Amino acid sequence: MFKVDLRHAFFSPRLAYERMRVAKKVKAGEIVVNMFAGVGCFSILIAKVQPKVRKVYSIDINPVAVAYMRENIRLNKVEGKVVPILGDAHEVLSDFEGVSSRVLMPLPEYSHEFLADAVRALNLHEGGVIHYYTVASGEKDVFKEPFERALRIIRGISPEISVEVEEKRIVRSVAPRKWHVVFDLKLRKSE
């Protein structure tokens, strides 16, 4: 159950499958960071589907969305599992460097600007997953250009980070020949 005021916060029922897909991938004991949590839909579903998740830190810069997130956390009885954080993900993630098992980036238009922050938040020695949402266009391989851009950003942090695509999929169409896509990227730093 989610409360939201669509005049002040984003919510799309069209993302229900995607939220469940990600929630089912989370394993017991993981620390998850949701960089653009909105009213908490991804974060709360993760805590409900995987009750043994250690923590889901849910960041959003919109104070109205965070207020609704707090209410939704209470309504869904996931207090203590989902931690709402009001702030800019660029700034907040400096407190999470190297601790996360999984990072969600469900803001496709600007995710590439935050990808380096997401990588630094992962525990790269144990390996972690980034759910990297972005916008792709074209008629042939819609995944090629956004994946190459993500790889350039990751390699710019360290060439010793291995990147494996666990899954990639088109989430939905957003315009003619333009898609909202996701890459589930498994990252690990070579020893």
Question: In this structure, is residue 1 part of a structural domain?
Answer: no
CA distance 43 to 49: 10
What kind and span of H or E run contains 186? strand 178-189
Tally of CB atoms within 10 A around 24: 11
Q: What is the pLDDT of residue 174?
A: 80
Residue whose pair of structure tokens reads 């002040």 in the numeric block: 8
Q: What is the pLDDT of residue 4?
A: 63
Question: In this structure, is residue 6 part of a structural domain?
Answer: no
Question: In this structure, is residue 100 part of a structural domain?
Answer: yes
Residue whose pair of structure tokens reads 């792709």 in the numeric block: 136
Question: In this structure, is residue 136 part of a structural domain?
Answer: yes
Question: What's the pLDDT tens digit per position in 162-190?
Answer: 999 999 999 888 888 888 999 999 999 97
Question: What's the pLDDT tens digit per position in 38-78?
Answer: 999 999 999 999 999 999 999 999 999 999 999 999 999 99
The tally of domains found in the chain comes to: 1
Q: Is the pLDDT of residue 139 over 90?
A: no
- Domain hosting 35: range is 13-189
Question: In this structure, is residue 8 part of a structural domain?
Answer: no
CATH number for the domain harbouring residue 41: 3.40.50.150
Q: Is the pLDDT of residue 15 over 90?
A: no
| Per-residue confidence band for 132, with pLDDT thresholds at 50, 70 and 90 | very high
Question: In this structure, is residue 2 part of a structural domain?
Answer: no
Question: In this structure, is residue 50 part of a structural domain?
Answer: yes
Question: In this structure, is residue 88 part of a structural domain?
Answer: yes
Q: Is the pLDDT of residue 146 over 90?
A: yes
CA distance 142 to 122: 27
Please give the biggest Cα pair distance in the chain.
48
Q: What is the pLDDT of residue 12?
A: 67
Q: What is the pLDDT of residue 108?
A: 85
What kind and span of H or E run contains 144? helix 144-157
Question: What's the pLDDT tens digit per position in 85-120?
Answer: 999 999 999 999 999 999 999 988 889 999 999 999
| Per-residue confidence band for 32, with pLDDT thresholds at 50, 70 and 90 | very high
Q: What is the pLDDT of residue 27?
A: 97
Mean pLDDT value across residues 1-5: 68
Q: What is the pLDDT of residue 177?
A: 85
Q: Which of 25-34, 81-90, 134-143 is least confident?
A: 134-143
Q: Is the pLDDT of residue 5 over 90?
A: no
